Amino acid sequence: MKIEVDVAIIGAGSAGLYALSQVKKETSNFLLINEGPYGTTCARVGCMPSKSLIRIAEYYHERAYFEKSGIKNSDKLSVSIPEVLQRVRKHRDILVEGNIKNITRLGDKVLSGRAEFMDAHTLKVGDDEIVAKKIIIATGSSPVFDPKWKDFKEHILTTDELFEQDDLPSTLGVLGLGVIGLELGQALSRLGIKVTAVHSKEFIGGLSDPEVNKNMLQLCEKEFDIWLGDGHAVLTKVEDKIQISTDNNEVLVDKVLVAIGRRPNLKNLKLENLGIALDKRGMPNFDPQTMQIEDLPVYIAGDVNADRPLLHEAADEGRIAGYNVVKEQKKFKRKVPLAIVFTDPNIAFVGKSYKEIKEDSNILTASYDFKQQGRAFLINKNAGLCHLYVEKNEGKLIGAQMVAPGGEHLAHHLAWAMEKELTVYDMLALPFYHPTLEEGLYTLLRDAVKKLEHKKESILEIPFLGEAQ
């Protein structure tokens, strides 16, 4: 069948659905094409179920403070991993259900199948040919899986499979301590699974600031075994176990959770039929302010473009692509970078990265470690390290990397301040309630002021209070 539409969107995940929200305002002649199960990566196998698991693990972990807080018999507590996984799936199913309802409501405007480009206006989906004025690619990404592991793939878990398990073994290797590996590795270890994590690089959880990274590493090493920068791991089946071997270490585990990254789902799209250059990953050139691929009527949004693989960015990219395929094309200003890792303490990144600022002599680093922070102390969370990058002339906030209690909130504070181009002086003039973790941010900002020597005098004279008009 030949179907002619104004807009075809490939992928019914977050980016695709946000694109659709814009497209629908201008035309009802669209088609949403999806291969595989409905439900976004976020809700099905990503952000949402992992947050449920992490919360349960944190509940259980906190029993360490029960005894010294006057709560007795915490040693009687135990964990049933099958029930934990059931709980996580129950949470997930409720969230995915809403997701799927939104899609099925679209009726015959949704087509199930794999889309392949024939040219920049034409897609093949099974026996159907779709001719579209504009096309949005929003096919997302998938966990990397090494084909070498095929022979023992019953021992290998990706995040696509983890939450589907009936039970988990008592020993688990975690391959990769990026954002996902670190979140899940810590949570599973806290639930009583013996975790051995292997990471080929020196930096974990997406960090690039060496001191902040060291701080988080020390905290994590108290909880589970970490082999760092120890060459690439080789997996071998030994009887009914998997042996993980690196240059200097080896261990036998029951299963391995693979978290060595996610790869954009580009391979099956036949982008080569677009007649443009693709890089070695198969990625076309696109403009992150319009989401357009070169000057084609084709747009690429969300994890599939590998630029900012985060839900709120997928939403923005979807909206931008959706807007631009039905309206006069505009370039949009992208938001201040913000990323949060839901470990305990949280890791967070805001604004410019360490790599971008480390050689810039016009930027200083303020620092705070939460050890003496009142509220953090009272809730047994007085650990971490925040680095705030501050421009030396005006005291403008440039970026931050942190390991911090309540880091998810502090990171929003900093991202929003950077979005509004505030200085450390502007921020210190805001109300900080007592006793809160926000006061840790206050101390961090005070450290920046101390280091901004030439400003010190004038600021301290008006104790962070403006004169009344």
Instruction: Say how far apart CA 181 and CA 187 lie, in whole Å.
Output: 10
Is 84 a binder of a second copy (CB under 8 A)?
yes
Instruction: Say how far apart CA 39 and CA 45 lie, in whole Å.
Output: 9
Is 330 a binder of a second copy (CB under 8 A)?
yes
Is 421 a binder of a second copy (CB under 8 A)?
no
Instruction: State whether the Cα torsion 427-430-433-434 is positive or negative.
Output: positive
Q: Least CB distance from residue 351 to a second copy, whole Å?
A: 10
Are 59 and 33 within 8 A, CB to CB? no
Is 71 a binder of a second copy (CB under 8 A)?
yes
Using CB under 8 A, which of 35, 436, 443, 451 touches a second copy? 436
Using CB under 8 A, which of 267, 312, 371, 456 touches a second copy? 312
Amino acid at 91: H
Is 374 a binder of a second copy (CB under 8 A)?
yes
Using CB under 8 A, which of 110, 223, 419, 459 touches a second copy? 419
Lay out the site mask for a second copy across 242-281 (x = CB under 8 A, - = otherwise): ----------------------------------------
Residues contacting 74, CB < 8 A, separation 6+: 63, 64, 66, 67
The dihedrals phi and psi of 459, each to the nearest 5 degrees, come to -80, -50
Q: How many residues interact with a second copy (rule CB under 8 A)?
A: 95
Q: Which residue has the tokens 């088609």?
A: 31
Which span sits near a second copy by CB under 8 A: 67-75, 170-178, 180-188, 265-273?
Answer: 67-75
Which span sits near a second copy by CB under 8 A: 69-77, 197-205, 271-279, 361-369?
Answer: 69-77
Q: Least CB distance from residue 400 to a second copy, whole Å?
A: 13
Which span sits near a second copy by CB under 8 A: 52-60, 252-260, 268-276, 278-286?
Answer: 52-60
Q: Least CB distance from residue 94 to a second copy, whole Å?
A: 8
List the structure tokens of 225: 């075994």
Using CB under 8 A, which of 8, 244, 311, 449 touches a second copy? 311
Instruction: Say how far apart CA 140 and CA 131 lie, in whole Å.
Output: 22
Instruction: Say how far apart CA 435 and CA 304 lie, in whole Å.
Output: 43
Cβ closer to a second copy: 88 or 258? 88
Residues 281 to 310: which contact a second copy by CB under 8 A? 289, 310
Is 42 a binder of a second copy (CB under 8 A)?
yes
Instruction: Say how far apart CA 376 and CA 404 lie, in whole Å.
Output: 9
- CA-nearest of 220, 190, 195 to 57 is 190
What is the DSSP track for 203-246? Answer: --TT---HHHHHHHHHHHHTTSEEEES----EEEEETTEEEEE-
The dihedrals phi and psi of 155, each to the nearest 5 degrees, come to -100, -5
Is 59 a binder of a second copy (CB under 8 A)?
yes
Is 64 a binder of a second copy (CB under 8 A)?
no
The dihedrals phi and psi of 446, each to the nearest 5 degrees, come to -60, -40
Is 409 a binder of a second copy (CB under 8 A)?
yes
Q: Least CB distance from residue 137 to a second copy, whole Å?
A: 19
Is 30 a binder of a second copy (CB under 8 A)?
no
Is 459 a binder of a second copy (CB under 8 A)?
no
List the structure tokens of 220: 């994590």
Instruction: Say how far apart CA 3 and CA 195 lie, in whole Å.
Output: 51
